[in-house]
Structure 1
Amino acid sequence: MMKVSFKGKFDVDKSNGAASLAFNAGNVKLRATMTDATIVAGPSLNGLSLAVEKPGFFIIDYNVPKKDVKFQFMNSIKIAEKPLNLTYIHMRGDNRTIVDGSLVIDLANKVSANYMVGTNNCKLKYTYAHGGIATFEPCYDLAKNAWDFAVSRKIYGTDTVKATYQTSSKMLGLEWSFNSKSTGSFKVCASMNLAEELKTPKLTAETTWNLEI
C-alpha cells in the first residue's frame, strides 16, 4: 500500500507546497518528498529528499540537491519503571548533533530535554495534561535564560486551540488546528511581536491531505 501526502502552506508573503509519497517495504518505509521547487520551474532535483524509516528505531534522510544526510535513531529504556524515550539526531552537512529525551512520569506528567552537543543550547520542558483535554507546557531555554509557555485545549475531539508566548522575544502566538486520520489536517496560525510599536499580526495557513492507494 502506498500513502500519498500533499502539503500546502500560505502566508502574506509567499506560498509553497510539498508532496510526499511513502510505501512499506517489509518492516521499513520508503519515502520521497518534493517541494514546488522540484516541479514548478521544470523537473529538477531542487527540494527533493529521500528517506528510509523503521518506525520507532531509525530514520535516514538524504537531501538530494545538497547531497546531505541526516541520521535519526530512537530508543526507549526504563528508569524506575518509567519509560525514557531517547532520540539521537546527526546532520552530517552542518556537523550538528542533537540529543532529545523525554521521561513519562505518568499519563498526566512528562519532562523532556533537548540538547545540541558542544553548545549551550539546551531546553528543558515540563508537560502537564489535564484530563486528556488541556495541556500546559512551560519550557526553559538555558542559552537565552528565558521561559517559553504553551497552553492548548482540545475542542470537539478533533480541533485544538493553542496559545504560546516567548518571553525572550515577546512573541505571542495563537493556533487553531483540525486533525483527521483519514483525510489530513488544517492549521491557521497568528503571531504578534508585543515588543514592536506597530503590533501587526502575521497570519499563516497550512493544510495536509492524506491518501492511501
Structure 2
Amino acid sequence: MKGSLKTRYDLDKMAAGATVSVNAGDIKLRATMTDATVVKGPSLNGLALSLEKPGSFIVDYNVPNKDFRFQFMSTVRVLEKPLNLNYIHFKGDKRTTVDGTLVLDPANKVSANHLIGSGNCKLKYTYVHKGQTTFEPSYDFAKNAWDFSISQRVYGDDVLKAMFQTSNKNLGLEWSRNSKLNGTFKISASLNLAEDLKRPKVIAESTWDFEM
C-alpha cells in the first residue's frame, strides 16, 4: 500500500490533501481526500475514489457530488509514429474531451485537445533541446490566442519554468523539484500584466510519498 500527502499554501488559504493507493494485480485502487474530509469531523466532502488500469482506463467517482469521470487510453501507429489517445467523459455535465499526442521523435511531439460538440480546440508543439530545455508554444482556437512556455532543468532535480498567456496577459514563473528522497516541491508565482494593481499571486505546494 502506497500513499502521498500534499499540502498547498497561498496568501488566501492553507489546504492539504492525502492519497492512498492499493495495487490489486494490474488494477490500482485509490482514495483521495482533502482537508474538507477531516476538518470539523469526518465527512464525505472532498472524497474521491478511483479505479485504474495503467495505460488502459481510469474511473473516478466524486463521492459528495455522486459524479463519475471516465478516461480511456490507447496508442495507435501513424506513419510508424506512436499516437497516444485519451477519451475523457464527465457524466455530470455530459462533457466529453478527446486529446492526442503524436510523438515524432524523442525531442519533438505534437498534441491536440478537443471538446466534442464545440469549436474549442487546442494545439501544442513540444521541443526538448538536449534533454534540458523544453519549448512549448500552443494555440487556442476558441480564444484565437497563443500561449508560450519554456522550462530549463538545473541541478538535476530542479526545473525552472516561465509561461505567458497572450489572451489574458498572464505571466507565470515556477520552480519545482522532484526528488525520490524528499518528495516534490513547487513554488509558483503569477502576475496579470493587464491589471492596474500588479500584485503577484504566490503558491507553494509540497508532496511526500510513503509506503504503509
Give the structure-1-normalised TM-score. Answer: 0.98
Does residue 1:77 correspond to 2:83, yes or no? no
After superposition, the C-alpha distances for 1:134-182 in whole angstroms (9 at most, x for unaligned) are: 0000000000000000000000110000000000000000000000234
1:182 and 1:210 in contact (8 A); partners too: no
Pair 1:74–1:181, CA change in 2 (3 A): farther
- Residue of structure 2 in register with 1:37 after alignment: 36
8 Å Cα contact 1:148-1:165 kept in structure 2: yes
- Please give the alpha-carbon distance, in whole angstroms, between the structure 2 residues aligned to 1:65 and 1:148: 35
**5+ long unaligned stretches in structure 2:** none
Q: 5 Å matches for 1:101-112?
A: 101-112=100-111
**Could you tell me whether the CA contact under 8 Å between 1:97 and 1:117 is conserved in 2?**
yes
Q: CA deviation at 1:200?
A: 1.0
1:203 alignment partner in structure 2: 202
TM alignment of 1:173-192, pairs within 5 A: 173-192=172-191
Aligned equivalents of 1:6, 1:12: Cα separation in 2? 21
How far, CA to CA, are the matches of 2:65 and 2:197 in structure 1?
39
2:49 equivalent in structure 1: 50
Equivalent runs, 1:16-31 vs 2, <5 Å: 16-31=15-30
Superposition map of 1:161-180 within 5 A? 161-180=160-179
Contact 1:60 1:71 (C-alpha < 8 Å) held by counterparts: yes
> Which secondary structure does the structure 1 equivalent of 2:36 belong to?
helix
Name the Cα RMSD after superposition. 0.7
| Structure 1 residue ranges without an equivalent (≥5) | none
SS across alignment from 2:105: coil
CA offsets, 1:17-41, max 9 Å, x none? 1000001001100000111000001
Instruction: Check 1:68–1:16 CA distance in 2 against 1; reply closer, same or farther (3 A cut).
Output: same
Same amino acid, percent of matched pairs = 63
* AA aligned opposite 1:170: K
